[in-house]
Amino acid sequence: MPYTIITDSVCDVPRETLTEWGVRTIPVVFSSSDGTEYLDYDLPSEVFYRKMRDGVVFQTAATNTARYMEAFEAVLKEGSDVLYLGFSSGLSSMYQSSVMAAEELRETYPDRKIITMDMLAASGGLGFIVYLAVKKQQSGASMTEVADYVRECLPHLCHWFTVDDLMFLHRGGRVSKTAAIAGTLLGIKPVLHVDNEGHLIPMEKVRGRGRAIATLAEKYLQTAKPQGGEYFISHGDCLEEAQKLAAMIQEKSGVECTKLTTIGPVIGAHSGPGTIALFFLGEQR
């Protein structure tokens, strides 16, 4: 039976690229402080980040079960089974909504297969694991084989990132207001990652933006598995600094960045402009 990979728009891979890969996406809803509601792809990233810098506050909402049912059933009606690779359950309730949708659809389509998988991943980390799954699919692997392969990759899926403005993390409940203010005054830049449970965890505090970017490069050089493996870089409207990170890694490892993308509005609403993130397979998360 043919099968289609589905993921959430918060994988931060351009929609055109996902279409080329044959991947369906479910857009996530977000809204601005003036009450305007958007889907993830509706607002160009450059417009979104300009609005953020101008003081507009954005809020996000988890995708509900009905939207997952609609997306899954559209594929089932086309004669294809469903492999859903979902946004981290450690950061949102969306994965649970997808499970509920799949359970209901299995009653309607008892002879069809729907696999839902919690990627414990966010942003380009989700995008990177989708990319690996697509390559496996294109090699001729069955849906079960792709699911097994992805399951093996997950404990090694590394997310490392830094933010430029701690106040955005404070607004999202990731750091206290006191820590955000103090860090801003001292020029402290946190280095964070996503742990084995899919939670966002601060790991290090470094002084200055340049040192924070260099620390991301070091994480790849120290832990990438296999050495010289592929990697994604995502950024919050700071392309030149993202390219600087890619150049650091390439100079030391000889490996070019596989894909460099912009962080979309839903993730960007929480991390803010100036975020730089690096994703690869490592010895451990």
Q: Which domains occur in the chain, in start order?
A: 3-28+61-154 (3.40.50.10440), 156-281 (3.30.1180.10)
Mark residue 201 as left, alpha or beta (left: phi above 0; alpha: psi -120 to 50; beta: remaining): beta
Dihedral in degrees, nearest 10, Cα atoms 270, 275, 279, 283:
-90
Mean pLDDT value across residues 46-53: 94
| The pLDDT of residue 227 | 64
Task: Check pLDDT > 60 for residue 247.
Answer: yes
Q: Would you place residue 34 in the very low, low, confident or very high pLDDT band (cuts 50, 70, 90)?
A: confident
Q: Would you place residue 201 in the very low, low, confident or very high pLDDT band (cuts 50, 70, 90)?
A: confident
Task: Look at 249 and 174; give whichever has higher pLDDT.
Answer: 249
The token duo for 224 is 């990438």
Question: CA–CA distance from 201 to each of 11, 159, 176 (Å)?
Answer: 19, 10, 14
Task: Check pLDDT > 60 for residue 185.
Answer: no
Pairing outcome for strands 114-118 and 24-26: unpaired
Task: Check pLDDT > 90 for residue 181.
Answer: no
Average pLDDT, the chain: 92
In terms of Cα–Cα distance, which of 275, 266, 198, 280 is closest to 232? 280
Q: What's the rounded Cα separation, in Å, for the pair 262 and 258? A: 14
Mean pLDDT value across residues 132-157: 97
| The pLDDT of residue 7 | 98
Task: Look at 167 and 116; give whichever has higher pLDDT.
Answer: 116
Task: Check pLDDT > 90 for residue 28.
Answer: yes
The token duo for 152 is 């093996």
| The pLDDT of residue 175 | 61
| The pLDDT of residue 164 | 83
Q: Look at 17-26, 91-100, 198-207, 234-243 and tell me which has the smallest mean pLDDT.
A: 198-207
Phi and psi, residue 195, nearest 5°: -85, -170
Task: Check pLDDT > 70 for residue 250.
Answer: yes
Contacts of 153 (CB under 8 A, 6+ apart): 129, 132, 281
- Cβ atoms of 22 and 131 within 8 Å: the answer is no
Run of H or E including 136: helix 123-138
**Residues β-bridged to residue 261:** 234
Q: Look at 87-96, 104-113, 171-180 and tell me which has the smallest mean pLDDT.
A: 171-180
Mean pLDDT value across residues 13-30: 96
Mean pLDDT value across residues 105-110: 97
Q: What is the pLDDT of residues 64-103, one digit of tens each?
A: 999 999 999 999 999 999 999 999 999 999 999 999 999 9
pTM: 0.94
Task: Check pLDDT > 70 for residue 61.
Answer: yes
